Amino acid sequence: MPLQRRLPKRGFRNIFKKELSEVNVGKLARFDAGAAVDAAALRASGVVRKLGADGVKLLGVGAIDRALTLKVQGCSESARRKVEAAGGSVEIVPYKAEKKDSSA
């Protein structure tokens, strides 16, 4: 029997997959109106427990009633419409991970 038929078959691993933490629009109610919200602010406020390796994606589940300036790495169309309808703005920015201090 040929070697390729004898070896066990394994799954596929996409090397181009982005690892994003997902945040719903409804979770942004804890921020004050006019606040600038980015990945670090979401982590500090407890909305996101663990940041993905590629940042944060905003999803459109829930409602928002205040104007926020969001700087995220991804955004769904429905989330963008909801934020802009509330008077806010969404900006797609590249993610820069915080470097851990190894001197401690």
Structural domain tally of the chain? 1
CB of 32 within 8 A of CB of 24? no
13-35 pLDDT, tens digit each:
899 999 999 999 999 999 999 99
Q: Is residue 59 part of a domain?
A: yes
Identify the pLDDT of residue 54: 92
Q: How confident is the model at residue 101 (pLDDT cuts 50, 70, 90)?
A: low
Q: Is residue 54 part of a domain?
A: yes
Residue 78 pLDDT greater than 90, yes or no: yes
Q: Is residue 37 part of a domain?
A: yes
> Which string of DSSP letters, residue by residue, matches the chain?
--HHHHSPP-----TT----EEEEGGGGGGSPTT-EE-HHHHHHHTS-SS-BTTBEEEE--S---S--EEEESEE-HHHHHHHHHTT-EEEE----PPPPPTT-
Residue 99 pLDDT greater than 70, yes or no: no
